[in-house]
């Protein structure tokens, strides 16, 4: 029988800005001791994660590990499958995925139960990877659409110098060269031409 001291939880958030409260609350509801919860606040693109490594090293046969969702184990189908195999076959611990009650290795340890768990795991890990791919594609499409509308990304441009309007007018009238206008404004020629193009489009004149 698994005691509370043999119960662990793992939490991962993708960035240091992401909130881990949802996962922590779920683990506390399972009575996982605070000292047995391991938390990584970094990208899951690889498994060089300090707390995850400590957790795996501490786990012993018949321990119980809770995770909120299957994608906490990896960022793609192969990683999730690999970590599941290491934990259940090599470390011989039980895993409970709280968002998917069918993934509870304490149930059905016979051949049929193991077979069903393996099928569910494969489907869910594939869905997790596919959803991340779709998210990246939607983000790329959104950025492309925004750029097509004229939205610019990155830091906002520095304010124009007070002399810019006069230099721009003289340059447009052919009284000075672009190089001379850029020098007056303290800009590189390419920067001056770029800012002049934006200035003209804004119809400030």
Among 81, 66, 67, which residue's Cα sits nearest to residue 124? 81
Q: Residues with catalytic annotation?
A: 14
CA–CA distance, 38 with 53 (Å, rounded to integer):
10
3-state secondary structure of 197: helix
Question: What are the CB-based long-range contacts (under 8 Å, 24+) for 129-136?
Answer: 129/75, 129/76, 129/77, 129/80, 132/71, 132/75, 132/76
**Cβ count within 10 A of residue 137:** 10
Tokens of 56: 């795996």
What is the helix (H) or strand (E) element at residue 13, kind and residue range? strand 7-13
Tokens of 180: 């001379």
């Amino acid at each position: 029988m698994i005691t509370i001291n043999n119960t662990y939880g793992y939490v991962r958030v993708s960035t240091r800005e992401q909130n881990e409260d949802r996962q922590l609350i779920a683990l506390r509801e399972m009575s996982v001791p605070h000292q047995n919860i391991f938390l990584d606040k970094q990208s899951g693109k690889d498994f060089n994660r300090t707390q995850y490594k400590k957790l795996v090293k501490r786990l012993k046969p018949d321990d119980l590990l809770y995770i909120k969702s299957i994608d906490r184990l990896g960022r793609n189908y192969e990683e999730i499958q690999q970590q599941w195999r290491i934990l259940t076959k090599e470390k011989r611990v039980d895993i409970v995925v709280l968002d998917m009650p069918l993934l509870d290795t304490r149930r059905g340890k016979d051949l049929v139960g193991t077979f069903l768990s393996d099928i569910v795991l494969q489907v869910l890990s594939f869905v997790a990877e596919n959803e991340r791919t779709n998210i990246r594609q939607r983000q790329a499409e959104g950025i492309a659409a925004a750029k097509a509308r004229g939205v610019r990304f990155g830091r906002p441009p520095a304010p124009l110098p007070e002399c810019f309007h006069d230099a721009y007018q003289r340059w447009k009238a052919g009284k000075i060269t672009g190089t001379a206008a850029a020098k007056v404004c303290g800009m590189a020629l390419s920067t001056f031409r770029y800012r002049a193009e934006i200035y003209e489009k804004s119809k400030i004149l």
